[in-house]
Amino acid sequence: MPDAQMNAEDFADMSSGANMPLLDESGRPLAGLPPSSSGLADVAASIHAHAGELSADQCEQAIHWLKALKTKDSAAARPASEFPAVLNELRNSLEQIDLQRRGHRKLWLAKGISILLALVLAGAVGLAIAHNWLALGMALVVALALFVVAERCTVSAIRIFKEQEQRYLWASIRQARSVSEINQAGIFAYLHGATFGTPGFSAAGARAAMQAERERLADALYADPDDYLVSCEHVLERQD
């Protein structure tokens, strides 16, 4: 449930735009606000006065109303049928093609080394039959080295393909402009209760699971107790 004792400063800090104080210490709109901010100040005052009386569901409903008001005339809206073309463009982007080629090069290198390894092992069998133990030992050492190199190339290829998949997934999600598109991008993929064909699947259950996940994601995006998007310290830490 919301905190009814939110400070007046909170109504300036909780914005991604140009912030300014809206309420005085008693929770009333500040005197002398520009006309463009008076309506927002009235909304903030109402929230400050009644937030403690609202349930979590009622808060979510109010947020949904405001979000619908914000996006009702959005020029970014587009038919959901156009989004597969966006995904296809991302899938065939230069970045994706480069990662795919790098992964394939590593795989082919691993295959070539594996063939060479097989030839060395075949030669080692012959050396064993001929009782040439010194040469056999050298062949086994070479075989071990080839195995290690082939394994590293395979692991490197797997990591590159994983990176390719992750970059495509998150690029797709960032391009989405609606719930339908973000669903096509895959954000609800493998969500428990929303996967078609699993035991106990139902359309109503899948809808409820996706609605709950949307609410959880929205809460997580707005919950910033460490001021992660305000402070640049986390960026500096990554550079150290």
Q: Are residues 23 and 49 in the same domain?
A: yes
Name the more confident of 165 and 45.
165
Residue 61 lies in domain: 10-71
Going by the DSSP 8-state scheme, the letter that residue 49 receives in this structure is: H
Confidence label for 15 from pLDDT (cuts 50, 70 and 90):
very low
From residue 131, alpha-carbon distances to 67, 98, 119, 204 in Å are 80, 49, 18, 73
Say if 5 falls within a structural domain: no
Q: Are residues 201 and 144 in the same domain?
A: yes
At 227-236, the pLDDT tens digits run 777 765 555 5
At 122-135, the pLDDT tens digits run 999 999 999 999 99
Chain-centroid distance, C-alpha 41: 34
Residue 22: predicted pLDDT: 79
Residue 1: predicted pLDDT: 42
Q: How many domains does the chain have?
A: 2
What is the rounded CA–CA span in Å between residue 93 and residue 164? 11
Nearest CA among 60, 40, 38, 58 for reference residue 50: 58
| Confidence check: pLDDT of 118 > 60 | yes
At 177-187, the pLDDT tens digits run 888 899 999 99
Q: Are residues 112 and 48 in the same domain?
A: no
What is the rounded CA–CA span in Å between residue 40 and residue 74? 20
Residue 109: predicted pLDDT: 97
At 61-98, the pLDDT tens digits run 888 887 777 777 665 667 778 899 999 999 999 999 99
Q: What's the mean per-residue pLDDT of the chain?
A: 83
Please check whether residue 62 is in contact with residue 54, taking contact to mean a CB–CB distance below 8 angstroms. yes
The stretch 126-153 carries a mean pLDDT of 94
Contacts of 92 (CB under 8 A, 6+ apart): none
Say if 1 falls within a structural domain: no
Residue 164: predicted pLDDT: 96
Confidence label for 16 from pLDDT (cuts 50, 70 and 90):
very low
The three-class DSSP label of residue 22 is: coil
Q: Are residues 115 and 55 in the same domain?
A: no
Please check whether residue 139 is in contact with residue 120, taking contact to mean a CB–CB distance below 8 angstroms. yes
What is the rounded CA–CA span in Å between residue 186 and residue 170? 9
Contacts of 9 (CB under 8 A, 6+ apart): 21
Q: How many CB atoms lie within 10 A of CB 201?
A: 12
| Confidence check: pLDDT of 196 > 80 | no
Name the more confident of 236 and 167.
167
At 99-116, the pLDDT tens digits run 999 999 999 999 999 999
Confidence label for 119 from pLDDT (cuts 50, 70 and 90):
very high
Q: Are residues 66 and 110 in the same domain?
A: no
Q: What percent of the chain has a predicted confidence (pLDDT) above 70?
A: 85
Q: Are residues 122 and 190 in the same domain?
A: yes
Q: How many CB atoms lie within 10 A of CB 239?
A: 5
The stretch 161-186 carries a mean pLDDT of 92
Q: Are residues 214 and 101 in the same domain?
A: yes
What is the rounded CA–CA span in Å between residue 57 and residue 237? 38
Nearest CA among 147, 12, 172, 6 for reference residue 87: 172
200: left (phi over 0), alpha (psi -120 to 50) or beta: left
What is the rounded CA–CA span in Å between residue 149 and residue 155? 10
